[in-house]
Structure 1
Amino acid sequence: MVVWVGDDDPPELDAERILTVPPGAAGLRLAAARNAGAREAAGAGAELLIFLDADCVPGADLVRRYRSAHDEHRDAVLCGPVTYLPAGAGLGADELRAATAPHPARPVPAPGEVQRAGEEEYPLFWSLSFALGAETFAAVGGFDDAYEGYGGEDTDFAFALRSAGVPLLWVGGADAYHQHHPTTSPPWQHLDDILRNGEIFARRWGRWPMDGWIEAFAAAGAIAWTGGTWQRVPS
């Protein structure tokens, strides 16, 4: 199942089904795209939904590890480790296995082990690679379609999971690999998206997400706390 989020027609793809969710007025509709893919998969009879972002490659054991964890923890959301690949990295199974070096900001259980997240770890949820039962996804309500453009929708989803009492599990060995592409930190090209989506999040949850980037933008003098919210500083 592939969800194409561009405003053009998708190319020939090796997929059973291809859905198109074009951008909205404010940018890519990643939340709406994930919801559309989930609805289509569930409608086709899928009981386990595995989400993988377009710039991620699944490891050879990802599906098997997610299936095994789901069999044991059917009401949980499952998160496998993600390795950020260097430029020019090969994508063959052996090359990926040799390059495995999961991002250190998240727990990494040994392959075959499952570790339950504490309440304070839900903000570490990543939509790059995760899985959960179709019934659980529907019960939580999926992602909030109000988010358009970059940032915020995955943390919002994680907070909704926590609020609903859905367990978050770190799944060892369900490795995914993020392909290299140029980026900046903080992501200046997404500043307006982060401010808009951050305000949506703050209205719902009483705090701002992406606080590290917000702090960096503020330290650079690009934004300021004005009128009870973060706003651009006029240049």
Structure 2
Amino acid sequence: MPFSIVTLVKGRKKQLENMLESIRHSSMTPDEVIIVWMEPEKPESRVEDSSLPIKQIYLNDGNLPLSKARNLGFYHTTSETVIFLDVDCLCSPTLLENLTTKLNEGIITSAPARYLPFIPLTGDYTEVEQDACVHPKRTSLPTETLLPYKKFWSLVFALTKNTFDKIGGFDENFTGYGGEDTDFAERFNSKGYGFMFVGDEVLHQYHHKYTPPLNYLREIVENANYFYSKHRYFPMYTWLQTFCKMGYITFDKQRHIFKIMSLPKQKDMDSTLSTLPY
């Protein structure tokens, strides 16, 4: 079955090179890999790989335009089946095969993840998979059966072009990080699409992160308020509560929105830098 892969990247060239290596070791290889760089074109934002058909696109708007970048990547694909794969992912050998062969018009396929505490030197899944761990707060979800739509995540998923078009793609009114994937799940559920995990996995390569994600505070608040205007509940609510307790935001009960009171300084963000792999 012909299929395309879409991935987004900003500043994670080594993770991207490892991801591409894992694709080369897969039981099925894609007809094309669409790489959307969310930064200007320069030597650091380009990869060469003669063994894979790669198309590299640049989207530089100064932010982290996840919705816009996913849509842009999708509209550059030529296959009827599309896999969205996070740049931090390493594919298990039969992942791509299972994602595509288990797919049908009413189903979106996905897969669970385990987490690596480092950026590996290699993208060969078999060499590093013994070092990956399970997220302690993520309960094991069954495979090959429909899952609650709110369990959807955008780390890895496959669908047909027709399904993506009927859902309407990702809402580009979400700017930056947060909420756009939960909105996507709300909309595919409302149209009767289901999703399930296949019996494979990805390994998530380590990257710096903040817990809570103070570096994305503005985007999370703005996107959460926009999400509420569409779906009448707030996503990322634990983070919003934490931001409130830290004094950065407050909840306006009259307008039913979260308001930013102040933005964290770099030293505040540094104090929440997490070394955990998940």
**Shift of residue 231 of structure 1?**
0.9
**Shift of residue 16 of structure 1?**
2.3
**Shift of residue 108 of structure 1?**
3.6
**Shift of residue 126 of structure 1?**
1.1
For residues 150 and 92 of structure 2, the distance between their equivalents in structure 1, rounded to whole angstroms, comes to 24
For residues 158 and 39 of structure 2, the distance between their equivalents in structure 1, rounded to whole angstroms, comes to 24
Q: Percent identity?
A: 31
1:107–1:170 CA contact under 8 A, matched in 2: no
Structure 1 pair 234–187 and aligned structure 2 pair: CA distance change class (3 A):
closer
1:32–1:145 CA contact under 8 A, matched in 2: yes
Q: Which of 192, 212, 217 matches 1:165?
A: 192
2:243 maps to 1:221: no
**Shift of residue 221 of structure 1?**
2.1
Q: In the TM superposition, what whole-angstrom CA distance separates every residue of 1:106-149 from its partner, at most 9, and x where no partner exists?
A: 5443xxx412113xxx2221111111111101111110011111
Structure 2 counterpart of 1:94, one-letter code: T
2:119–2:207 CA contact under 8 A, matched in 1: no
Q: Who is 2:64 aligned against?
A: 28
Aligned residues: 221
Q: In the TM superposition, what whole-angstrom CA distance separates every residue of 1:80-100 from its partner, at most 9, and x where no partner exists?
A: 011121125453221243235
Q: Which of 46, 52, 60 matches 1:11?
A: 46
For residues 194 and 161 of structure 1, the distance between their equivalents in structure 2, rounded to whole angstroms, comes to 22
Higher RCO (CA 8 Å, separation ≥ 6 residues): 1
2:46–2:56 CA contact under 8 A, matched in 1: no
TM-score of the superposed pair, with normalisation by structure 1? 0.86
1:53–1:128 CA contact under 8 A, matched in 2: yes
Structure 1, unaligned stretches of length 5 or more?
none
Q: Who is 1:231 aligned against?
A: 259
TM-score of the superposed pair, with normalisation by structure 2? 0.73
Q: In the TM superposition, what whole-angstrom CA distance separates every residue of 1:48-85 from its partner, at most 9, and x where no partner exists?
A: 11001122222212101102211xx3321111011121
Structure 1 counterpart of 2:244, one-letter code: A
Structure 1 counterpart of 2:249, one-letter code: I
Q: Which of 65, 70, 87 matches 2:118?
A: 87
2:71 maps to 1:38: no
